[in-house]
Structure 1
Amino acid sequence: MKFFLRLTLLFLIFSGLYAILIHFVSPVKIPKQSWWQHNRVRVESFLTEGKDAKYVIVGSSMSDRMLPEQDSGWFNLSLVGEGGLTGLSILNRSDSVPKFVFIEVNQLSVKENEKFSKENTDPFFVFTRRNFPILRSEKQPLNYAVGFVIQFTDRFFPKETQTKNGTDEEAVKISKKLKEDHIQEVKRWYGAAVEQKKLNERTEYIAGVLGELRSKGIRPVFFEMPMHPEILISAKETRTRDSILKKFPPSEYLWFRDQTTVYEDSDGLHLTYPEANRFFHKLKEYADSLP
């Protein structure tokens, strides 16, 4: 009996000391072990620091690369491997009431991950993450320790920044060839249009969620992430876009589409990080113009 009491006491002492540590000290970068954990951390951040955001973005990995500054009034709830429907569901199930929700249309054909939405908005889950930061995924000891190791090695063992010209040119050629091959593969993936029945189900789902969000005073804004030009006009993207436009026409809903600026993509689907933030800057300018 005394052994278990001592064990419990040690656990409480360790937990208390660790809670104090993470409150005052944190590595610059805390790595995620998987995309699932990446999404879990994103949702936990939204339900805690981001719950009072004025502007919330929901989308897929295409929107995930836009990086709002802390305390800017913006929160990016885009989830890797998911579409905007999962983010919409999480927003609707939460007690957050932003003024606007920006909905990426590119991957709205992806069904809501209902299991993920429910698990991460359960009242007990939200309560514990808001009141006991030590339980949050990014605060787990392993992630925290690895974050400090990375920070240490980056500071004392910086990567070589200089390369031989020949090696550098060869790397650029290989990278360009790999990107071209990948784009051709993506074009094949996106060559088949999404079934209209599936899209109709998605648009009806969106209409129901938007009705609930609007009743809370949240205004929806649809936007399209730039992609490789050949992918944007693919059968999949075209039918998805046309179905959303038909159900939610610009005459009744707010839309943002930057069709004049040329952006650089990294793989046909995703913009490079600098380009994603260039697009984000334009999106913010549009948001600022809204009444």
Structure 2
Amino acid sequence: MIKRSVLFAIALLLLYAAYVSYGNAVPVSQHQWQDNTIRTQNYSYTDSLHKKDVIIGTSLTAMMEPNTLPGDVYMLVYPGMSVVNGIITLKENNIAPKYIFIEENAVLKPVNTDFNDYIFGDIHFYSKKYFPFLRDCYQPVGQAAGFVERHSAARVQFFSDWIFNPVLRVFQSNPKATIDKEAHYRELKRRRNMVDTAALISSFTQLKNELKWLEDRGTRIYFYATPTHPDVFKCKQSKAVMDAFKKYFPPGKYNYFEIPDVSQYTQLHDQLHLDKPSAIRYARVFSKELNSARGH
């Protein structure tokens, strides 16, 4: 019985491996952590990407579509995480790009050590390197969900438009707003005018230590800031971060892109992330700066 079960499991694995390799398997991400994992695995396991220059950012940079940027640059972005996670990815792969471009805005976000431990643990890393069907983008649950979504999108939309939503509206009279927008912005402003000096020192010390590995290997480092709402740009926390960059990474020794004119762009409700039209406009400006920095 046990032998049959083992043989059956092996047969299933072989069939699934064949489906991923020769079938219509499409990489699928179901949540932010998995999206970051897939992006990192894609970079780690694709030799051709190692020749590209690298952008390291967070969700603010991720608002720009990769196809709007130069094709010889890879976006190693980590929404919800720290830019240091991206630098650790380069170190773990022993890759020192000719140029890297690092987002300044969310530099105070703490490093997620669990993420890199998961990606680069020996068993995880090498099993997924040599057996692609084990990679996170091909998890069976995600593949099944993606298959259903691709093949029943029209039916699901019809059900939502003509059955589910009309019934829901019958039972919803005039629902009260759950969030007071003005109170929300006041709280954001309060937090952004708080400066945790200890956290600031810790973040910049760690960033400098991690970047030394790249500097020692000849990588040219550029820092850039994405456009944010004027209230965010002028807050005490942003000023403290900009001052810290000048202290730990003095201009002249390190390279900086020109700070964008924040009045030219529109942010979403959080006053940080660009809306789609603004992200497209900023990507055009950013692309020119990328090419200029690299002498293209």
**Please, what TM-score do these two structures have when normalized by structure 2?**
0.81
CA distance in 2, matches of 1:216, 1:273: 37
Q: 5 Å matches for 1:222-241?
A: 222-241=223-242
Give the structure 2 partner of residue 66 of structure 1.
64
Cα RMSD, aligned residues only: 3.0
Report the residue type matching 2:38 in the other structure.
V
Decide whether aligned partners of structure 1 residues 121 and 279 sit closer, same or farther in structure 2, where only a CA change above 3 A counts.
farther
Give the structure 1 partner of residue 272 of structure 2.
269
Give the structure 1 partner of residue 171 of structure 2.
none
Give the structure 2 partner of residue 166 of structure 1.
none
**Alpha-carbon displacement from aligned partner over 1:192-239 (angstroms, at most 9, x marks no partner):** 1231x3322222222222221122332211111111111111111111
Decide whether aligned partners of structure 1 residues 194 and 43 sit closer, same or farther in structure 2, where only a CA change above 3 A counts.
same
Decide whether aligned partners of structure 1 residues 178 and 58 sit closer, same or farther in structure 2, where only a CA change above 3 A counts.
farther
Q: Check the 8 A contact 1:29/1:151 in 2, yes or no.
A: no
Aligned to 2:101, what secondary structure does the other structure show? strand
Give the structure 1 partner of residue 153 of structure 2.
154
CA distance in 2, matches of 1:26, 1:228: 43
**Which one of the candidate residues 189, 192, 195 is aligned to 1:190?**
192
Unaligned runs of 5+ in 2: 162-175
**Please, what TM-score do these two structures have when normalized by structure 1?**
0.82
Give the structure 1 partner of residue 111 of structure 2.
112
Give the structure 1 partner of residue 173 of structure 2.
none
CA distance in 2, matches of 1:266, 1:27: 34
Aligned to 1:76, what secondary structure does the other structure show? strand
Cα offset, 1:179, TM superposition:
6.0
Q: Check the 8 A contact 2:225/2:260 in 1, yes or no.
A: no
Q: 5 Å matches for 1:170-189?
A: 182-189=184-191
Q: Identify the structure with the greater helix proportion.
A: 2
Give the structure 2 partner of residue 169 of structure 1.
none
Q: 5 Å matches for 1:1-291?
A: 3-26=1-24, 30-32=28-30, 34-49=31-46, 51-69=49-67, 72-155=71-154, 157-158=156-157, 182-195=184-197, 197-260=198-261, 262-267=264-269, 268-289=271-292, 290-291=294-295
> Mean Cα displacement is larger for which, 68-77 or 35-44?
68-77
Q: Check the 8 A contact 1:59/1:84 in 2, yes or no.
A: yes
CA distance in 1, matches of 2:233, 2:88: 26
Q: Check the 8 A contact 1:53/1:75 in 2, yes or no.
A: no
Decide whether aligned partners of structure 1 residues 98 and 273 sit closer, same or farther in structure 2, where only a CA change above 3 A counts.
farther
**Alpha-carbon displacement from aligned partner over 1:35-69 (angstroms, at most 9, x marks no partner):** 32232222222212374251222222222222313
CA distance in 1, matches of 2:189, 2:23: 46
Report the residue type matching 2:82 in the other structure.
G
Q: Check the 8 A contact 1:51/1:95 in 2, yes or no.
A: no
Decide whether aligned partners of structure 1 residues 108 and 287 sit closer, same or farther in structure 2, where only a CA change above 3 A counts.
same
Q: Check the 8 A contact 1:65/1:276 in 2, yes or no.
A: yes
Decide whether aligned partners of structure 1 residues 234 and 117 sit closer, same or farther in structure 2, where only a CA change above 3 A counts.
same
> Mean Cα displacement is larger for which, 203-212 or 51-60?
51-60
Q: Check the 8 A contact 1:194/1:239 in 2, yes or no.
A: no
Report the residue type matching 1:276 in the other structure.
A
Give the structure 2 partner of residue 165 of structure 1.
none
**Alpha-carbon displacement from aligned partner over 1:139-164 (angstroms, at most 9, x marks no partner):** 10000111111112335555799xxx
> Mean Cα displacement is larger for which, 100-109 or 35-44?
35-44
Q: Check the 8 A contact 2:102/2:223 in 1, yes or no.
A: yes
